[in-house]
Structure 1
Amino acid sequence: MQDLQERIAHLERTVDDLSDVVTRQAAEIERLTRRVALLMERAAEAEAETGGGIPLADQRPPHW
């Protein structure tokens, strides 16, 4: 019985630790998602300011 209680306690601790990791990762993903959206907006604004020619993503690199 003692062995089972120790195993359960260990498993509960592991679940709590994993839950903390998932929570931190979710917050980091949300932060990075907001930053990517902001960068995409800035890139779109920069493309619009340059005259609206071929989008930068569709242009050939200069070494081609």
Structure 2
Amino acid sequence: MTDDDRLIALEIRLAHFERMAEDLSDMLVEQGRQIDLQAAQIKRLRERIVELAQGGERSPQDDQPPPHY
């Protein structure tokens, strides 16, 4: 294997690693968005639980039967 062949092989491997790093970064960003969304949903659910535990107002949805009735 010549020096040029080795250099080309290294450049190819580097390109693959750079692409993999970009893909992983994109996945981390998406997971961060999902975590933020879920944290907001959990916060709203906790607030609703506290409200219900304190005898808060009932939602009209609370009085409706489930859809399978």
Provide TM-score, normalisation by structure 2.
0.71
RMSD of aligned alpha carbons: 1.0
Structure 1 counterpart of 2:35 = 29
Which structure is higher in RCO with an 8 Å CA cutoff and minimum separation 6? 1
Q: Give identity over the alignment, percent.
A: 32
Cα displacement (A) at 1:2: 0.3
After superposition, the C-alpha distances for 1:12-61 in whole angstroms (9 at most, x for unaligned) are: 000000000000000000000000000000000000007xxxxxxxxxxx
Tell me which residue corresponds to 2:21. 15
Which protein is bigger by CA-based radius of gyration? 2
TM-score (norm 1): 0.76
CA distance in 1, matches of 2:52, 2:29: 35
**Structure 1 unmatched ranges of 5 or more:** 51-64
- Any unmatched runs of 5+ in structure 2? 1-6, 57-69
Alignment coverage as a number of residue pairs: 50
1: CA distance, partners of 2:28 / 2:51? 35
